Chain A
Amino acid sequence: MEIPIEYYLLLSAFMFIVGVVGVLTRRNAIIVFMSIELMLNSANLTMVAYSSFLGNSVGQLFVFFVMTVAAAEAAIGLAIIIAMFRNKKTLNIDEINILKW
């Protein structure tokens, strides 16, 4: 039996919401970053589901672009986080507050 597309969409919407809530509530920079990756991956799941549902391979192609970009972002983001940690010895966003939010 084939699984209907609504299930995939609901799952990816749920993943996206988990990501957004994670960004807004977690205080550790690395966990915030992981939540952002979860948001990107929920978009990937939507793309793949639609791609197979519509029979249009553009969606799968887009997923490759998103994964490449996410890798580039991870490289630069982790570099920034390491630079921050070397200077400040903490990654808690609430303590990173020389500049007023």
Chain B
Amino acid sequence: MQEIYNLIPFVLISAGILVSLIFEMYAKNSKRIIAWFSVFIFLAAGFHSLVNVDNAQLFFNSMLQVGGNINIFIFLFNFAAALVVLMAMDYSSKYGNNFGEFYILLQSSVLGMMLMAGAKDLFVIFLGLEIMSVSFYALAGLNRMRLKANEASLKYFLLGSFATGFIVYGIALIFGSTNTTSIPQIVDKFGELTHNLLFMAGILMFLIGFSFKMAAFPFHMWVPDVYEGSATTVAGFFSTAGKTAAFSAVIITLGSVFMHGNANIFEPYLVVLAVTSMLYGSIVAIAQNNIKRMLAYSSIAHAGYLMIGLASGNYEGIAGIIFYLAAYTFMNLGAFGVVALIEGKDETNLTFESYTGLSKKQPFLAAMLAICMFSLAGIPPFAGFFGKYYIFIAAIKSDLTWLAIVGVISSVISIYFYLRVVVIMYFNETEIDLTVQKSNYGLLAVVISVILVIIIGIAPGSLIDLISSFLK
């Protein structure tokens, strides 16, 4: 009985998908019902996993782990999804993807992410990844009438399944050279396997596939287009929960390799990806005029910072990544939430000109966006600063001081385009009028994320202690 109790988040979401499908078929006014129902199951699953965080268990022939740091991920996915549902309630009718299926796809993508985070077997990682990705392709193009959304989902689909091809081939090679798909067994044999060329090729393919999903530099081509073309709330979900899920899968595979005292042989690959994504993301973001594209390039840069934690390959690095992902989820969702509130009908008001003098017209929204931008840039009192701090400390501890310095340089560059938004909002005047549709739920979601950004920024120690206590 106790065993099933731990699995409740998975059961809740899976049952929720089926119940929502029935609502969608038979209930009148089904959109509101499904929206509130999904907020309810996301919050229930999220808080259940947070309460049971110190109760780690293996399920299904040791293929799935629930408890420990996995539950922190499950909480993040569910909480982010609940915030996205709140943002989408009024936004969807403005944008035109106000279908009940929107929430059902959101639920199934969260189920896939949870499977990815808890996987102890390459099977489960693959299945979770595909449940998530297939729902994401559909979410990106849910509004079939909009050409931009069509294009975004087509590009996302083609490049995403290209990446899946790499991951599957990598898994096939790993299986062939180890005769197992169970991650703990592979980790046990890891020392002798490093001399096996096929195994290394498999791991490399696996990493390349996941670099696509994480939006790291040479594999980033889809990111700006997909974020610009799909609905703003959905883009916020891709950039936070999607990235967190990809990193959680890599932490499970690579992280368990580091933690058994193996040398970090992936370091050259990860270092190159980290440096190029940080610098490329920060420099190209300067040239953008569309705020969603700017946030997309900033998300490439953030993938670079997160990769520093992987490249350093120690406990501090992994704890730093989980902390950074928590901080990044809330600050980025806050920023996307404000953008979704300001966006007008037919995807207007997305350029920087629309944000001129926002502090006069919408002082509250301007303040919220400013806090998110400060946090994304890594300015001290907010969560983003401590995320970068822990990751750079981890890099210095494993003798990668130069990498930390590159990271600091890149965040100095990124201050330019983050603060440009703040400067435009507070110090520029304009005559152009801006009509913003009122949306109380969207505002509520933004306020919750900003409060969490401030709380994590004020008390980072307790969160990092919690995370590192589950890694050991």
Contacts and interface: CB of A to CB of B under 8 A. Distances in A.
A73 B158 CA distance: 10
Contacts of A88: 147, 150
Contacts of A54: 176, 179
Contact of B123 (A29, A62, A80): A62
Contacts of A33: 158, 161
B266 interface: no
Contact of B152 (A9, A19, A81, A99): A99
A46 B172 contact: yes
A62 B150 CA distance: 32
A42 to B, nearest CB: 7
B127 A69 contact: yes
B138 interface: yes
A55 to B, nearest CB: 9
A69 to B, nearest CB: 5
Contacts of A44: 172
Nearest to B130: A69
Contacts of B169: 16, 39, 42-43, 46
A101 B154 contact: no
A58 B180 CA distance: 8
A50 B165 contact: no
A72 B134 CA distance: 8
B165 A101 contact: no
Interface string B114-155: 000000000100110010001001100100110110111111
Contacts of B176: 9, 46-47, 49-50, 53-54, 59
Contacts of A86: 144
A78 to B, nearest CB: 10
B232 to A, nearest CB: 15
Nearest to A56: B179
Given A43-B172, A77-B137, A99-B229, A65 B123 contact: yes
B225 interface: yes
A47 B181 CA distance: 11
Interface residues of A, number: 45
B173 interface: yes
B221 interface: yes
B141 A80 contact: yes
Given A40-B164, A46-B172, A101-B225, A76 B147 contact: no
A33 B158 CA distance: 7
A59 to B, nearest CB: 6
B175 interface: yes
A98 B130 contact: no
Interface string B160-196: 0110111011011101100111000000000000000
Interface string A57-101: 011001001100100110011011101101110000100101111
A73 B154 contact: no
Interface string A24-47: 000001001100100110111011
Contact of A83 (B141, B171, B225): B141
B175 A80 contact: no
Given A40-B168, A46-B172, A99 B137 contact: no
A89 to B, nearest CB: 11
18 contacts: A16-B169, A19-B165, A29-B154, A39-B166, A39-B168, A40-B168, A43-B168, A54-B179, A58-B175, A69-B126, A69-B130, A73-B130, A73-B164, A76-B138, A77-B157, A79-B138, A84-B151, A99-B155
Given A32-B158, A80-B150, A87-B150, 6 more contacts: A40-B165, A47-B172, A62-B123, A93-B158, A98-B229, A99-B228
